[in-house]
Chains A and B, each alone.
Chain A
Amino acid sequence: MKDRKVVCRCEDLTEEEIIHAIELGYDDLESLKRFTGATTGPCQGKGCLMHIIRILSQKTGKSVDEIGVTTQRQPVNPVPLYILAAKKGDEK
């Protein structure tokens, strides 16, 4: 397999697949994210968002500012349920 440029590792998306989605008309960041799943995996975009924005900018000619960023969802890093479920004073 030559030139298989993976841009989103969590969702296993290649640059080609992102370009294909843009060509199908999903050419704004919010739609592209939701159509491909990019930025919604375990890394939540930390590894891929910049690549996605770059490809979108190259394909559409829009500036990075025009494209913007997707809404950053909490939590910043994954938090286990047992920590969230703990009451004040719980040891574990």
Chain B
Amino acid sequence: MIRVAIVGGGIAGLSAAYFLARKGADVSVFEQKYLLYGASGRNSGGLTAQFVNEPLIKLALRSLELYDRIQTETGFNFLLRKDGYIKIADEKNEDALKNEVDFQKKAGVNVRIVDPDFVRNLFPDINTQTFTAAAYFADGGVVFPWPVIWGLAKGCRELGVKIYDYTPVRVEVKGNEVLGVRADSELHKADYVINAAGAWSNEISRQAGIELGNRVFREEICVTESLKPYLDPYILDVSTGVYISQSMRGEIVGGILGKEAEEVSVKSSLDFLTAYARRVTELVPKLRGMSILRQWAGAYDVGRNGMPVIGTTKVKGFIQLNGFGRNGMSLALAAGEGVAELVLKGKSRIVQPFNP
């Protein structure tokens, strides 16, 4: 039986574990803290396929299918709503948005340019003065990241995967081959080690003697008190990076796209809160009286040229599955499925373009 050790219990690591175990591999997942400690437990759950190259679009479309399938297979409700993902843009960013949509249409994405009134029909409280055009992806939407992780973990355990939480590990290599991972004094031997450590992936890669060079970002986010459900789609303002959606619990979840950081950090700031408050009250003036209940931050890693890094390396058995940036919830399920295929069959078409 092929033994696989996976570093990182986020969506990428757990997805790979799930698909590997389904095909009979002997899989262990190691998480340094609790499941949900990484970006997979801190994100806004927006699901989209509005990307600017075909390999990413393929991963995203496949991931959308997999959400439905894994929900059924694991009997876990991901609180997934496919009510659409909308990018709005001002005059300055309108042309870029239109070009993007032209490309995406050709790549088979069900997306189109709509005017501000169209968006107001979907969400009456939006201030149509704040943007000039929008790109509407009807099949996108919002998922609640916590049950996604719980559900994957449950599915994994039922397939015999061992999940070790509160267990930081290091990769061990001998010569040009992986031996496994080490937790404290114990070596867990493995034929393959998968680096799914998100923002910590550079460090894990270095332990195998490989410079990965992913960039680390920090992104802040917050929620308001709960309202009755009334905002269906996910809305991203590409002009300012501000985004909002509503959770199934009724909170308005919103943030600002992340910025590159010197190191992995999950500190929150008042600067973020004021910048967010200004823009969100322009976009949706009626939210002015709503209170912020809680804010937090998360860290993710962006691979070279903004692409994920997925595939085998010069160290035999050491596999990269990281660099998902701001889009891991939209991409990583299919990437995990692809990596399982790569490990068990030697190749996978869907992840091939992301070869390290």
Contacts and interface: CB of A to CB of B under 8 A. Distances in A.
Interface of A: 28, 30-31, 34-35, 37, 40, 42, 44, 71, 73-75, 78-85
Determine which residue in B226, B277, B287, B296 has the highest number of CB atoms from chain A within 10 A of its CB, and name it.
B277
A23 B86 CA distance: 41
Contact of B292 (A30, A34, A35, A78): A78
A48 to B, nearest CB: 14
Contacts, number: 77
Determine which residue in B34, B146, B166 has the highest number of CB atoms from chain A within 10 A of its CB, and name it.
B34
Contacts of B281: 81-82, 85
Contacts of A28: 34, 165-166
B69 interface: no
A85 B274 contact: yes
Contacts of A42: 225-226, 293
26 contacts: A28-B165, A30-B33, A31-B34, A31-B35, A73-B294, A73-B295, A73-B296, A74-B268, A74-B270, A75-B273, A75-B292, A75-B294, A75-B295, A78-B225, A78-B291, A78-B292, A80-B288, A80-B291, A81-B287, A81-B290, A81-B291, A82-B288, A84-B274, A84-B277, A85-B281, A85-B288
Nearest to B284: A81
A82 B293 contact: no
B224 interface: yes
Determine which residue in B226, B290, B293 has the highest number of CB atoms from chain A within 10 A of its CB, and name it.
B293
Contacts of A44: 293-294
A26 to B, nearest CB: 8
Given A80-B288, A80-B289, A84-B274, 7 more contacts: A30-B36, A37-B249, A78-B225, A79-B273, A80-B291, A81-B287, A81-B292
B35 A85 contact: no
B290 A80 contact: yes
A75 B165 CA distance: 29
A48 B336 CA distance: 38
A4 B150 CA distance: 27
Nearest to A83: B277
B294 A34 contact: no
A30 B32 CA distance: 13
Contact of A78 (B34, B36, B293): B293
Nearest to B289: A80
A40 B222 CA distance: 12
A28 B34 CA distance: 8
Nearest to A85: B277
Contacts of B296: 71, 73
